[in-house]
Structure 1
Amino acid sequence: MTDVTDKPGAGLTEADLAALVDEVGAAEVVLDPSAMEAYRWDWSRFPGAGMPCAVVRPRDAGQVQAAVRWAARRGIPIVPRGAGTGLAGGSNAVEGGLTISLDRMAGIEIDPATRTAVVEPGALNAAVKQAAREHGLWYPPDPSSYEICSIGGNIATNAGGLCCVKYGVTTDYVLGLDVVLADGRLITLGGRRIKDVAGLSLIKLFVGSEGTLGIVTKVTLRLVPSPPPAATLVATFPTARAAAEAVVAMGRQLRPSLVEFMDQRAVNITEDHLRMGLDRSAGGLLVVQCDSPGAARTEEIEAVEAICVSAGATEVFATDDHDEGEAFLGARRAFFPACEGRGALLVEDVGVPIPALPDLIDGIAEIARRHDTDIPVVAHAGDGNTHPNLIYDATDPAARERAERAFSEIMELAIGLGGTITGEHGVGRAKVGSLAAQLGPDVMELTRTIKDALDPQGILNPSCAI
């Protein structure tokens, strides 16, 4: 595979850029460096973002094709971009490359008869949920950033979220994709059919591929009937391990619709931000929801309460009030914004099998102590997916070095516990160097073979490719 990152954009002339404008459309091409600045990084601000030669903001698949063909003829790297809310540097611009921002392609069509949504990649997750709700339907995947993240970005990383413990992740709801390949061809995979096993399952190949195999221009999503109102339980524990052990016990007996975890540091950071009366002394906090219909919901919440008490919970509060429940979920969702301004961040996304969750959380705490680094932890605990945030002083090289060592050790810890370096944020630039440690040489070779077959020039998101 050609390494286009060695000399991206080399030899580009004004005539080349004029051709891009002609082929895509003047209104869709951004060439002003000051205007392109906003398209260089995702939310993580992972270092090393370059300045693109241009940003294309297409309005339809034809313009995406035109932009890809322009880049392919010149060997220019392409970085697809959604809403820029990624947490692994996956949409960081390549120096001299072409960024294709899909934010203008935001159409949503709901078909109640087939319980599907046909959605363009720039549509926000929240907008899809709202459009489905108007027909009594629901789109379940709900990343913490659901109000501002795009469906295209969710597809790129196979995003999960708070309720995936019961309802699954993005790939479980993707029935069809339109994808522009590296040579500019547009292919259609799947559709509104619930069952379809004709040919290889190529949809699964593109979901989670982070723009390294093609650019998604349309998605057919499966919708489900809206669930009953949920009951919410909040439990505080003397230690983070006790809270994690309660989660393990729940997984053996119950199927809550949501199980979220915050350690003591995360609780305090969030309380500093919201001032809503969270218990700062709690070693661990769980927010659990159950949405089974009728009396089963009450029985489930009572069973969750019994498990939490048995695991040593110091306080348990349960409510059927929607607003009260949403307030506690709001606290959990506020954690990432609450961390902003406290220093530079390295955002982890490691996951393990549920029984290993207590050891993972204890291990992260030990890594934080050993490297003298602030690492608050929140988690989609019900599926073993943790989000340690490493906070450090960017002006102190020693602090950054400690944080980077801790970042690597947390991934090694997760792999050693039979887990993964990323549960939902994607590999991006931040974790591409650790991918081989999880996958092994044979899977890495197979992955490279697939990449070379679909993108022989290596132009699609090359900084995230292996």
Structure 2
Amino acid sequence: MIMSRIEARRDEDTVAAGPLVDRLLGGLPAEAVLTDPDVTASYANDMASFCPAGSPAVVVLPRTVEQVQHVMRTATELRVPVVPQGARTGLSGAANATDGCIVLSLTKMDRILEIDPVDRIAVVEPGVINAALSRAVAEHGLAYPPDPSSWEMCTIGGNIGTASGGLCCVKYGVTAEYVLGLDVVLADGRLLTTGRRTVKGVAGYDLTRLFVGSEGSLGIVVRAVLALRPKPPEQLVLAAEFASGAAASDAVCRIMAGGHVPSLLELMDRTTVKAVNDMARMGLPESTEALLLAAFDTADPAADLAALGALCEEAGATQVVPAEDAAESEMLLQARRMSLVALEAVKGTTMIDDVCVPRSRLGELIEGVERISEKHGLTIGVVAHAGDGNTHPTVCFDASDPDESRRARESFDEIMALGLELGGTITGEHGVGVLKKEWLAREAGPVSMEMQRAVKRAFDPLGILNPGKLF
């Protein structure tokens, strides 16, 4: 009886989706159009907690710009919402499906079209994996600096959609600084080209920057021109232990005020260090309250690390240990990259905050998170891109416990409120998505929100592109 009801429901869904699927198949190969409910359900959400997701009518995996244009023309004609997706490693629900939508997965558009060592650019499709691009350009003596912790999985299109950052932002900046030009399929299927291939360019409004961080709400990025840099020397890493997060934050302030430009400056609190050790037996020092990782990729990294280590000692570091070689440095970086996954293993579920504050207020944020953790009786680990003030307080909780889930959500909101009180922002690199819509309005204010909605209407008058996100 139960199975017959399920089959009946599936038949109804098939009938309802029939005209849409037929229209899509008119311009797409059959293997690019997925309709099996069990398969489409697997595309329903990204990695964020507490973000509702609907049931897609169909999942489409195009391989060409023309196929994306066909999808958008069909969606416009039939008034069907479209949710663009990359690898779904996002942490804000920005890639979550809505009921009856077309999920437009761009993972099959994964070609590196061009690498130009003279102009120092790469031209890529949106489904290219971040790490794959980094390795490809390295063969030409070049580097693509933005490196989110999920760089082995996340796509360039997803990085552009959320304006992502990474571990090297303190020296090299974020994704937005490397996107020179874009090809974008608009809601009605037209193809828009923005930006340039040149180092300089100020012709007209900067539409390229407008799309970076727009979370698929204005158009579908199908090609990107990315700036590259010369490949830097191999970096060496230093680990400094501190008796408090405040002392580690003081060291960060001394380093930045002293004019140093580390290639990486990351912080892991005691909770995070223990989680990483429990997961991977990394042998990190659990006696410390805060572990600061710093790196230089200069001509003489050992000398730069020695100067930085002295500043850490002045700030109260209990131990300063420079890595002996590249292999030891990579081990420390791997520990940092696995922090969020390790924290998830503590209780099975996490809410990962993404609050960025001025560097000078970093210590206050860490202390505030400690108070929030004690107030709600929850484990909250803090990992941070300390060099740019971007913190990831990570609330660990049991999703099957309603009371613990409630306390997790309350603590998450209190951390965001604290970030705003300290002159910061609710998101430094993960985006707004579904998770932080209410908080975007609080941070931006009514005039800004009115202008942002006007921009959205100009590009997507029918409201079919990633509806329910941002606003």
Q: TM-score, normalised by structure 1?
A: 0.96
Matching of residue 30 in structure 1 with residue 34 in structure 2? yes
Distance change (3 Å), C-alpha of 1:267 and 1:188 = same
Name the CA distance, whole Å, in 1 between partners of 2:433 and 2:15: 28
Matching of residue 63 in structure 1 with residue 90 in structure 2? no
2:357 to 352, 361, 367: 352
Matching of residue 410 in structure 1 with residue 379 in structure 2? no
Residue identity in the other structure for 2:107:
D
2:91 to 76, 82, 87: 87
Residue identity in the other structure for 1:196:
G
Equivalent in the alignment of 1:21:
25
Cα offset, 1:279, TM superposition = 1.1
SS of structure 1 residue aligned to 2:203: coil
Residue identity in the other structure for 2:23:
A
Residue identity in the other structure for 1:84:
R
Equivalent in the alignment of 2:5:
none
Cα offset, 1:298, TM superposition = 3.2
SS of structure 2 residue aligned to 1:394: coil
Equivalent in the alignment of 1:325:
329
Equivalent in the alignment of 2:8:
none
Equivalent in the alignment of 1:259:
265
Matching of residue 75 in structure 1 with residue 79 in structure 2? yes
Q: TM-score, normalised by structure 2?
A: 0.95
2:185–2:220 CA contact under 8 A, matched in 1: yes
2:437 to 399, 410, 432: 432
Deviations 1:407-462 (A, max 9, x none): 11111100111101000011111111110111111111111111111111111111
Task: Map 1:3-14; keep pairs closer than 5 Å.
Answer: 12-14=16-18
Task: Map 1:146-295; keep pairs closer than 5 Å.
Answer: 146-253=151-258, 254-294=260-300
Deviations 1:371-425 (A, max 9, x none): 1121101000000000111111111111111111111111110011110100001
1:367 to 365, 368, 372: 372
Equivalent in the alignment of 1:396:
401
Name the CA distance, whole Å, in 2 between partners of 1:130 and 1:426: 26
Equivalent in the alignment of 1:5:
none
Name the CA distance, whole Å, in 1 between partners of 2:405 and 2:49: 14
Cα offset, 1:34, TM superposition = 1.1
1:230–1:320 CA contact under 8 A, matched in 2: no
Name the CA distance, whole Å, in 2 between partners of 1:15 and 1:364: 51
For the aligned residues, what is the CA RMSD? 1.4
Percent identical:
49
Name the CA distance, whole Å, in 2 between partners of 1:92 and 1:13: 19
Cα offset, 1:47, TM superposition = 3.5
Task: Map 1:376-391; keep pairs closer than 5 Å.
Answer: 376-391=381-396
Equivalent in the alignment of 1:6:
none
Question: Which consecutive unaligned segments of at least 5 residues does structure 2 have?
Answer: 1-12
Cα offset, 1:184, TM superposition = 1.0
SS of structure 2 residue aligned to 1:171: helix
Cα offset, 1:370, TM superposition = 0.8
Equivalent in the alignment of 2:313:
309
Cα offset, 1:45, TM superposition = 4.6
Equivalent in the alignment of 2:47:
43
Cα offset, 1:15, TM superposition = 2.5
SS of structure 2 residue aligned to 1:363: helix
Name the CA distance, whole Å, in 1 between partners of 2:419 and 2:38: 40
Deviations 1:187-207 (A, max 9, x none): 111231111111111100000
Distance change (3 Å), C-alpha of 1:226 and 1:320 = farther
Name the CA distance, whole Å, in 2 between partners of 1:333 and 1:358: 22
Name the CA distance, whole Å, in 1 between partners of 2:446 and 2:166: 30
Residue identity in the other structure for 1:274:
A
2:304 to 273, 295, 300: 300
Residue identity in the other structure for 2:38:
S
1:118–1:220 CA contact under 8 A, matched in 2: yes
Name the CA distance, whole Å, in 1 between partners of 2:323 and 2:381: 27
Residue identity in the other structure for 1:111:
D
2:47–2:88 CA contact under 8 A, matched in 1: yes
Count of aligned positions: 456
Deviations 1:245-268 (A, max 9, x none): 111111111111100000111111
Equivalent in the alignment of 1:3:
none
Name the CA distance, whole Å, in 2 between partners of 1:279 and 1:220: 42
Question: Which consecutive unaligned segments of at least 5 residues does structure 1 have?
Answer: 1-8
Deviations 1:71-93 (A, max 9, x none): 11122111100011111111011
Residue identity in the other structure for 2:274:
N
